[in-house]
Structure 1
């Protein structure tokens, strides 16, 4: 059964089961609400009174969507469920959810790799990829390892630091290069500023003779020992050294020393970026964005019914 709880009730129920994920933390949800003018609905689906699915639905009115691209949706399914039980519970959850909302978009976390219940319930599925680096394995492609050693001897200084106007501006430039809409860039910048004072937010930057050369913005999930890269950029073409690889090497080591197990490099779909991340000897992982439209589902159902009736009529002749 699907129930809608208050924030306090939802957190209490989840913390009896597992640690909260970063994208479920109150300050993250509050920052998303304030920046993107959305509301949050806290759902738990239980099977025989045991919570097996949780979801924080962000959106407005009858629409659920993911307001920012570098967070997975706050969607969780009990990993101890058997295959038939998983399929049944997720299907029932989706039926109840789509009865409440006209449009639903969920950016599934990496832990969800069985999308059959979504397909069975008239969701469309888009496949994306990311790379995940195991911090216990400090190994790289030979060319990357060589570039790291070479660049390290040229006087670059890598360090962890707080967000400031310089590293923020450098990272925001990447979104312009990638042709994000200006409104989207403004929203992302405002969100980053809202959460920048938190311990789970960090920047790693590379300097040469005191000048900022490259910078990376990360979110840190301390409880689950996972770090997420958000943005990474360097000064334009005048910097020929492989400072990106050097900076990755630095923050991989720093995060490992701080107890993190892995880094989700958040992206593997663009060919040039995928090649770079693959040379970090990171593992390629698929993830999915699932979408539902009540209007499209109704039209599809109508045509399926017409097709069925037509087949029945033809069979009689």
Structure 2
């Protein structure tokens, strides 16, 4: 295989659409928005065999005072993207095991060679949940970290899904339904940011204190069919907020689960409404991201999802290790514990 930077947006997006590992977070315009708001340079690498594109790897590069950092995706406090990394071609899963391993080994060998050529001091890549084979990274000296997310099977009947919830969850949904609650789509990013900043007050430096509302506004504008902001109202008052995204057969709870009125179980009610919405729209599975955060996993597990692993790989030289130490100490906070786990 050979490696080169892809400049053809149409080729890139078509590949991502067809790849079993391609996500919304791999799409060209979303990557460009991350580049615009993160301060990192987007480097969309393609792995080719002859003239055929076999894998893509969107990487983000930054040189800070001689420390060369490569991320996929960038830090959570800048992009809030759960995973990215390598995406293999459309027929990869249908290949025999030996052929799959050959393609993956060759793709990583070329990408690893490029990382060495540019002299990366820190490399941090979080793979998509379905990308389980991280042995080439392990053999190349990378540290492997196990992460988790939650998935709910939407091919079940609505009754089966409902009956699988904890009793406490069902009771809270029923109690909330007695209020005059409505969920409306919105573009009011500023109000959403203000809600989240207030909700996370006391958790130290986080995405909503570091990033601009313009980042989310650009995402909502660029992907109106895929990324949507919702507010839940009790009469005229906002009592819940969330941003969800959808792509291919997956619906993802991305931002939110903000408790505003503690007299109403807004999170349980909104999640149930989103589950019904996603199922009605034909999605096959729903991801409730955030299983690694101890403070929220007990809430998310109420809906009886399946715990699914995914992997983060990282490597750093001595200069990178010094930089990592500085970052951890400057931005140390309980809230960022799970973020640091996925970016360094």
TM-score between both structures, scaled by the size of structure 1: 0.81
Q: CA RMSD in A?
A: 2.7
Structure 2, unaligned runs of 5 or more: 321-344
1:118 is displaced (CA, Å) by 1.3
Q: Distance in 2 between matches of 1:28 and 1:60?
A: 18
Aligned residue pairs: how many?
293
Structure 1, unaligned runs of 5 or more: 298-317
- 8 Å contact 2:2–2:49 — kept in the other structure? no
Q: Distance in 2 between matches of 1:251 and 1:220?
A: 11
Q: Distance in 2 between matches of 1:88 and 1:281?
A: 37
- 8 Å contact 2:6–2:46 — kept in the other structure? no
- 8 Å contact 1:167–1:212 — kept in the other structure? no
Q: Any idea what SS the aligned residue of 1:128 has?
A: strand
- 8 Å contact 1:98–1:294 — kept in the other structure? no
Q: Any idea what SS the aligned residue of 1:196 has?
A: helix
Q: Any idea what SS the aligned residue of 1:180 has?
A: coil
The match for 2:266 is 243
- 8 Å contact 1:125–1:290 — kept in the other structure? yes
- 8 Å contact 1:127–1:287 — kept in the other structure? yes
The match for 1:63 is 69
- Bigger radius of gyration, 1 or 2? 1
Residues 79-117 of structure 1: CA distance to partner in whole angstroms, max 9, x if unpaired?
Answer: 234333333333333332222222321110011112222
The match for 2:99 is 85
1:28 is displaced (CA, Å) by 0.6
- 8 Å contact 1:204–1:247 — kept in the other structure? no
1:191 matched to 2:205? no
1:254 is displaced (CA, Å) by 1.5
1:278 is displaced (CA, Å) by 1.3
Q: Any idea what SS the aligned residue of 2:291 has?
A: coil
Note closer, same or farther for the CA distance 1:296–1:164 as it changes in structure 2 (3 Å cut).
closer
Which range is displaced more, 152-161 or 10-19?
A: 10-19
Which range is displaced more, 264-273 or 68-77?
A: 68-77
Q: Distance in 2 between matches of 1:295 and 1:115?
A: 23
Note closer, same or farther for the CA distance 1:99–1:18 as it changes in structure 2 (3 Å cut).
closer
